[in-house]
């Protein structure tokens, strides 16, 4: 009876994410203190894997004035969940979706006059107004109007009916690097355009530029609002641009130990037998795989009963194997940590990113939709 009850207390899910909304609220407060500006919390990509609906509510409770997403679909998810906050779509939106954006009071990025004219034609037919933020390419080489063409762009845009120019923004390409020069130049180009627009009386009310690294390291790039992505989640923009230690990581990835058994010496483990036991070995199976966003790569680590253990062989779609010789007391139902802390041990998102040869952004954004998110405050 005792034993059966043990399975009811642990191992409810094969794998799950624990999201600490208290950490996210703490981080938004720290961003406000550091930058002394309004905060636009970047919640695209399912809030960097953390869960867009719950995270958006938390950041707003902590004082974030705006939410930013990459696509209209993400903004609509928020509206469907009843979120009435201010939202900017920073990427491309089709003119066919402009009316939907307008009706849901969602602001769009514009960077091309033909697209903006199409927006104008679509919304004026329905007597609607579309709010836009003009994207300026001060050095990113991605979406945006070049600063030299900015004044003419604004002058034309102001002749388009149904378009209300609410903001202007740019994006830093290299604010997370030790070399400061390029970001300083981006700020100078943006400043120049803003003063040209001010002189003509057409500077929009909201100018914003800084991403996480920008707001930490370039106070001159603060303008009216900062766009905080990765540091909202307590993660470092890069190794060269770490977050202060008052920021708290919010995400842990956990899995249940679903099998423990002894394999004889020379036994293959998993697909293609990319690991073979060296002796009689105690092998565990955990319920996390590449379909959960856990990369199909050799050489990971997991925490079991506070100890680091190696992941063996190829990660399967829904499961992978771990070596339990150093943890003889491990048993089915144990909680295994893939990201986060267990007792005195800790695997950070950065550590996993380095094993996978990528950056922390990609690790968290890749966490699959099927993985349940468990929220705590
Ligand atoms: C336009 C724009 N602004 C802000 C951000 C947030 O960047 P970070 O997560 O580095 O703060 C991003 C993220 O990629 C972005 O594309």
- The answer to whether 117 and 161 are in contact (CB under 8 A) is no
Q: Do domains 2-15+250-376 and 37-233 have the same CATH topology?
A: no
C-alpha dist (Å) from residue 37 to 7, 95, 224, 236, 330: 48, 32, 6, 20, 49
| Ligand 1 pocket, residue 229 CB under 6 Å | yes
Annotated domain spans of the chain: 2-15+250-376, 37-233
Residue whose Cα lies nearest atom 2 of ligand 1: it is 171
Q: What is the pLDDT of residue 297?
A: 87
Given this model, what pLDDT does residue 6 score? 58
Judge if the beta carbon of residue 324 lies within 6 A of ligand 1: no
What is the fold, at CATH topology level, of the domain defined by 2-15+250-376?
A: Lyase, Ornithine Decarboxylase; Chain A, domain 1 (2.40.37)
- Supply the residue whose CA is at minimum distance from atom 13 of ligand 1: 229
Rounded CA-CA distance 363/322 in Å is 20
The residue whose two tokens read 């993660």 is 235
Which residues are catalytic, by number? 44, 271
Low-confidence ranges of the chain (pLDDT < 70): 1-10
What are phi and psi for residue 356, nearest 5 degrees? -85, -5
Tell me, using a 6 A CB cutoff, whether residue 47 lines ligand 1.
no
User: Is there an atom of ligand 1 within 6 Å of 243 CB?
Assistant: no
Q: Pick the atom of ligand 1 nearest to 42's CA.
A: 6
Q: Give residue 208 CA to ligand 1 midpoint distance, Å.
A: 12
pLDDT of residue 54: 98
Query: CATH for 37-233?
Result: 3.20.20.10
- pTM (predicted TM-score): 0.96
**Helix residue ranges, H only, 67-145:** 72-80, 98-103, 113-125
CB-based contact 223:138 (threshold 8 Å): no
CA distance 79 to 97: 15
| Residue 299: predicted pLDDT | 86
Our answer on whether the CB atom of 211 is closer than 6 Å to any ligand 1 atom is yes
Q: Tell me, what's the pLDDT at 3?
A: 56
CA of 24 to the centre of ligand 1 (A): 17
Give the separation between CA 84 and CA 107, rounded to whole angstroms.
13
Give the number of C-alpha atoms closer than 13 A to the C-alpha of residue 80, restricted to the C-beta side. Answer: 8
Tens digits of residue pLDDT in 289-303 = 999 999 998 889 999
Q: Ligand 1, residues 168, 227, 233: which to mutate, most atoms within 8 A of Cβ?
A: 227
State in Å: Cα 342 to ligand 1 middle.
Answer: 31
- CB-CB contact of 65 with 39 (8 Å): yes
What distances in angstroms separate CA 220 from CA 73, 159, 197, 214, 229, one per listed residue?
A: 33, 32, 18, 9, 18
% helix / strand / coil in the chain, to the nearest 5?
35, 25, 40
Ligand 1 pocket check for 234: Cβ under 6 Å: no
Distance between Cα 79 and ligand 1 center (Å): 21
Cβ of 212 closer than 6 Å to ligand 1, yes or no, is yes
């Amino acid at each position: 009876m005792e034993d059966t009850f043990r399975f009811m207390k642990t191992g409810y899910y094969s794998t799950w994410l624990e999201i600490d909304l208290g950490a996210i609220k703490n981080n938004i407060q720290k961003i406000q203190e550091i930058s002394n500006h309004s905060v636009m919390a970047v919640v695209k990509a399912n809030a960097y894997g953390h869960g867009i609906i719950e995270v958006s509510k938390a950041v707003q409770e902590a004082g974030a004035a705006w939410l930013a997403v990459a696509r209209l679909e993400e903004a609509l998810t928020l509206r469907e969940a009843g979120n009435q906050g201010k939202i900017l779509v920073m990427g491309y939106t089709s003119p066919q979706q402009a009316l939907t954006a307008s009706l849901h009071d969602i602001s769009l990025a514009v960077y091309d006059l033909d697209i903006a004219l199409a927006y104008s034609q679509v919304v004026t037919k329905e007597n609607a107004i579309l709010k836009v933020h003009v994207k300026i390419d001060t050095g990113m080489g991605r979406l945006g109007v070049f600063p030299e063409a900015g004044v003419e762009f604004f002058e034309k845009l102001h002749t388009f009916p149904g378009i209300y120019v609410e903001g202007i923004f740019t994006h830093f390409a290299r604010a997370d690097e030790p070399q400061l020069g390029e970001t300083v130049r981006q700020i100078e180009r943006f400043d120049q355009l803003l003063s040209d627009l001010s002189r003509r009386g057409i500077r929009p009310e909201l100018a914003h530029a800084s991403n996480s690294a920008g707001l930490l390291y370039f106070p001159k790039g603060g303008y009216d609002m900062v766009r905080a992505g990765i540091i909202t989640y307590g993660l470092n923009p890069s190794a060269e641009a770490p977050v202060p230690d008052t920021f708290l990581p919010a995400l842990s990835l956990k899995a249940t130990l679903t099998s423990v058994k002894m394999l004889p010496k020379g036994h293959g483990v998993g697909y293609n037998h990319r690991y073979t036991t060296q002796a009689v070995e105690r092998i565990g199976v955990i319920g996390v795989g590449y379909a959960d966003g856990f990369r199909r790569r050799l050489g990971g680590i997991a925490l079991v009963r506070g100890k680091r253990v190696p992941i063996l062989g190829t990660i399967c779609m829904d499961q992978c194997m771990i070596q339990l010789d150093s943890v003889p007391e491990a048993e089915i139902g144990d909680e295994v940590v893939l990201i986060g802390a267990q007792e005195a041990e800790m695997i950070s998102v950065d550590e996993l990113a380095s094993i996978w040869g990528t950056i922390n952004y990609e690790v968290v954004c890749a966490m699959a939709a099927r993985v349940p998110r468990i929220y705590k405050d």
